[in-house]
Structure 1
C-alpha cells in the first residue's frame, strides 16, 4: 500500500441488507473539508428494504464525496474518501484529479494498467505513480476507434505522440484511456468511452469528462419531450420505480403468482373491545404506551395462532417441505412516504400486553421516521394490515413473501346490529384473512379467523383462552 493510499482511505458502499446489490444515496451529512470520527454517520442511503444511516469507520477529514445525492451505487463501490492524516500537508484537490506538475519539474507519468508489476497502486484523482518498467502495449480491439483528444489542461504539458500497436501489420488504435472506476461510471451511465472527449493528461478520460458526456446525452434526450409536456399543461408525472417501492412491487408480483391465495371474511361486533381500549388508556400499567384497537387485534391474532399453530408456517419450495414455526414474528404493514414496508415484532407471542404495546409503538414511530432497518423487516411469520385507518371496510390482502397468512383489519363503524334479541347500534368491523392454500386448508384458515373474531367480540377470552 502506498503512502497516498494509507493517508487517503475510501469507505465503500456496504451491504446493509441481506444480499442487496445496490443502494441510493438519499442525503449527505458531511461535505469536503469536514472532520469526521469513527462511528459518525456520514450519509443516509435507501436500499430495496429501508433507509439506513451509514457510519464512517475511521477518523479524518472528508476529502471527496464520490457521488451526488439521488445516485444509485453498487455495493462495494467507494462513496467517500477521507484524509486520515490532514496534518501531513496540502492534499490533492477534492473534486478533480490532481494537476500535473510543469514539464521542467516533473514529466507527466504514462498511465499504466492497474495491478501490473512494477507500478504502485493509486487512488482515483491523485495521478498514477511512476513505474520502473515499460508499459506493455494494450491489445487493440477490433471495431473500436479512439476519440480525438481535446486540448490539454493549462497546467499539463502536451503528451508526445505514441505509435499505436499493430495487428497483422496494420495499425489499430487502442481503447480509450480511463481508470477502472471511470470505466464503471461510464458503464453505469450508459456512456460509450469512445464518444467521450478526454481532458486528462496524456489523453486520459476523467470522471468529469464522463459526467459532461452524460449531461449532453440527457439534454438531447429531454429536448423533444419538453414541448409536448408544455402543450398538454403537464398533466402527467413520471417517477422512477426504485428503492422500497420497487422491492415491494416485485415482492407482490412474486406473491400473487407463486402462492395460491384464499381470502375469507367475517363481520364482528367489537363494541366490548372498543370499551376495553378506552379502559386500558386509563390504566396506570399502560401509561405512556400506544393503546388502540390494533393492539387488541394483534393480541387476538396471537391467541388464535396459539390455538391453531399450523397457520404459522412457510412453504419451502426448494426442499418441498412445510416449515412450522414455534415463534411468531408479527408483521405490521406500514405506509411510508417511500412506500409500503412490513417490519415485524420479534417473538411477539411471548410478550405481555404492555410489552406488545411498547413494541408496536416503537415499530410505528421508526417506520414513520424512515429509520426501519432491514433486520426489522426480515423473518416475519404472519402479518396484519390495518386498512381501517383509511376508512376502508376490508380488502383481499396479498401475502408477504415467505408467510402463510395475513389479516386485514377494517374500519370500525357504528352500525345496526342484533344484540340480545334487539336491533341496537353497535361498533362493527370486518376482518379478512388471506392464506396460502398450499399449506393452509379452508378448515384451518376458517378456525383462525373465527377465533380472532371471537376474541374481539368477547375480549375476556384473552384471559380464558390463554
Structure 2
C-alpha cells in the first residue's frame, strides 16, 4: 500500500458540488497531525475549514487559492510515513503554480484513498448508489462514465490508446487529476464530441462570437474556461474597425469604468433561493406599527439585573421571544408546503438573517422554542458572532422553519421580505424611533417600530397572518402583561 495518499474535496453538506479554495493553512513540506485544519473552503453556503484525514507530511498541493474545485477532486497529497525513509515512489514538493503533468507510472504509485464515513441511508457501511463515490454527506460525483445520447451527425468518439506497461522507475510522483480522453476530431480539426463548458462560459462565447467547438479547453477534464474564450476573442478584438456605428460606440462607452463581480458562493445561493421562492410561493405582506416604549424599559430593567450583566440584550431578543410565543398560539405559521400536504412542525428552528462580508446568510437556532430567555440570548449572540466571522457551518443554515430579519439596524422602517425556501413566514423588524404617538388620550413622544410579516398564502390566509402579527405586536407593546395573560 502506498504511503502517499491523496485527499479529495469532500461533499460539505446537502449535495454541494463544488467549493472555492480561500486559503491553504499548510504548505508543501509541513508536518501535519490528524484532524488538523489544512484548508479553508467556501461553498455556496459558508466558509469552512477542512481537517486532515491523516497525519504526515504535505507532499503536494494541487490547486491554488482562489480556484474552484469540484467535489471528489484531489486537493492535497500526504506522505503518511515521512520518517520511514525514501519511498519507492515519492512525491516531490511541487508548488501550486507549477505542477508538471504526471506520467502513467507516477500516477500508478499514488493511492487515492476513499472518503470515510459515507454510507447509504439506512445501511451502515453500505455502498453509495448509482456508481457514485461516497463522501462525508450525501454522494459525490459518479465513478462510472455518464451515458450521453449521441448528437445527430456526430462522429464516434476516438477510443483511448492502450496504456503503456508501467515501468517501476524511481521517477518523482506529482499527483494531479487525470484528464479524460479528448473527443473525436473531424476533418476541420474541430471537436465533434460534446463541448465541456459551464453556462456562463457559453454565454460569454456567444456574446463574443467565439465558436466553442474550435477551442481546446484548459480546465478540468478539458473543459473550456472564461480565459480560453477571452484568449480566442482577443485577436478579433485587436483588429482595427473600419466602420464605427453609433450603436457600438454607445455600447462601449464607459466600459473601462465598470466593475464586474462574479456571482458565486453565498451570493449565488441567495439569488437562486430568492428567485425560486418568489416565483413559487404566493407572497402576502402585512404591516403593523407598535408602541414599544414599555418593551424598551423592560430591556433596561433586564440589563440591570446582576445575572444579565454579561449578556448581550437587544430589542431583537424580545422580538424573537414574541415570535416563539405567538407560534405556540398559531402552530400553522410554523409549517411548510409539501405539494399534497402541509407539514406543521412541532419545533421551531428560528432563522436570524445576518449580513456578512460574503453576503446574506440565514443561520438558525435549533429548537429555539425550548430555550429560556437567557439561553435564547446566548444562542443569538453566538449565532451572530459566528456568522460575522464567516464560520457558520452548512448544518447551521439548514432546516430553518421561521425567520426574522432585522432591517432596523440599517435605519430602515420595514420591508417586504421574501420567504426562505421551505418556510411559510418571515418577519421584518424595523428601526425603533421616537415618534409622536397618542398615549392615554394625549400626543406624547413614544418609541415606535413597524413590523412586516410576509407569508405563504397557500398555507396562511389573511386571518391567520393577521392574528399572528397582532400577537407579536401585543407582546412587544407590553411584554410583562402579555406574558402573564398567555401563561
Could you state the TM-score of these two structures normalised by the residue count of structure 1? Answer: 0.75
* Among candidates 278, 282, 288, match of residue 256 of structure 1: 278
Query: Which residue does the alignment assign to 1:400?
Result: 420
Could you say if the C-alpha distance between residues 398 and 91 of structure 1 is closer, same or farther in structure 2, counting changes exceeding 3 Å? closer
Question: Could you tell me how far apart the structure 1 residues matched to 2:426 and 2:230 are?
Answer: 44
The 5 A counterparts of 1:116-131 are 126=173
Structure 1 residue 271, shift from structure 2 partner: 0.2
Could you say if the C-alpha distance between residues 263 and 185 of structure 1 is closer, same or farther in structure 2, counting changes exceeding 3 Å? closer
Question: Could you tell me how far apart the structure 1 residues matched to 2:384 and 2:361 are?
Answer: 11
Question: Could you tell me how far apart the structure 2 residues matched to 1:51 and 1:65 are?
Answer: 19
Q: Aligned with 2:279: secondary structure?
A: helix
Instruction: For residues 73-126 of structure 1, give each alpha carbon's deviation from its aligned partner in whole angstroms, at most 9, with x where no partner exists.
Output: 11111111112233432643523346999xxxxxxxxxx96997976999x973
Query: Which residue does the alignment assign to 2:324?
Result: 302
Structure 1 residue 61, shift from structure 2 partner: 1.3
Query: Which residue does the alignment assign to 1:415?
Result: 435
Query: Which residue does the alignment assign to 2:485?
Result: 464
Structure 1 residue 231, shift from structure 2 partner: 7.8
Structure 1 residue 65, shift from structure 2 partner: 1.2
Contact 1:397 1:408 (8 Å CA) reproduced: yes
Structure 1 residue 351, shift from structure 2 partner: 0.5
Question: Could you tell me how far apart the structure 1 residues matched to 2:259 and 2:270 are?
Answer: 21
Question: Could you tell me how far apart the structure 1 residues matched to 2:265 and 2:182 are?
Answer: 40
Contact 1:186 1:193 (8 Å CA) reproduced: no
Structure 1 residue 276, shift from structure 2 partner: 1.1
Instruction: For residues 303-340 of structure 1, give each alpha carbon's deviation from its aligned partner in whole angstroms, at most 9, with x where no partner exists.
Output: 111111111110002xx100011010100001111111
Structure 1 residue 215, shift from structure 2 partner: 6.0
Contact 2:197 2:224 (8 Å CA) reproduced: no
Query: Which residue does the alignment assign to 1:68?
Result: 64
Query: Which residue does the alignment assign to 2:39?
Result: 43
* Among candidates 266, 273, 278, match of residue 288 of structure 2: 266
Contact 2:363 2:396 (8 Å CA) reproduced: yes
Structure 1 residue 14, shift from structure 2 partner: 0.6
Structure 1 residue 71, shift from structure 2 partner: 1.1
* Among candidates 378, 387, 400, match of residue 380 of structure 1: 400
Unaligned runs of 5+ in 2: 106-158, 176-180, 203-210, 241-248
Structure 1 residue 68, shift from structure 2 partner: 1.3
RMSD: 4.0
Structure 1 residue 218, shift from structure 2 partner: 4.4
Could you say if the C-alpha distance between residues 252 and 30 of structure 1 is closer, same or farther in structure 2, counting changes exceeding 3 Å? same
Could you state the TM-score of these two structures normalised by the residue count of structure 2? Answer: 0.72
Could you say if the C-alpha distance between residues 325 and 207 of structure 1 is closer, same or farther in structure 2, counting changes exceeding 3 Å? closer
Instruction: For residues 254-278 of structure 1, give each alpha carbon's deviation from its aligned partner in whole angstroms, at most 9, with x where no partner exists.
Output: 0000000000000000001111111
Contact 2:92 2:174 (8 Å CA) reproduced: no
Structure whose CA Rg is larger: 1
Could you say if the C-alpha distance between residues 67 and 439 of structure 1 is closer, same or farther in structure 2, counting changes exceeding 3 Å? same
Could you say if the C-alpha distance between residues 421 and 65 of structure 1 is closer, same or farther in structure 2, counting changes exceeding 3 Å? same
Question: Could you tell me how far apart the structure 2 residues matched to 1:250 and 1:321 are?
Answer: 24
* Among candidates 96, 101, 112, match of residue 100 of structure 2: 96
Query: Which residue does the alignment assign to 1:178?
Result: none
**Bigger mean CA offset, 36-45 vs 284-293:** 284-293
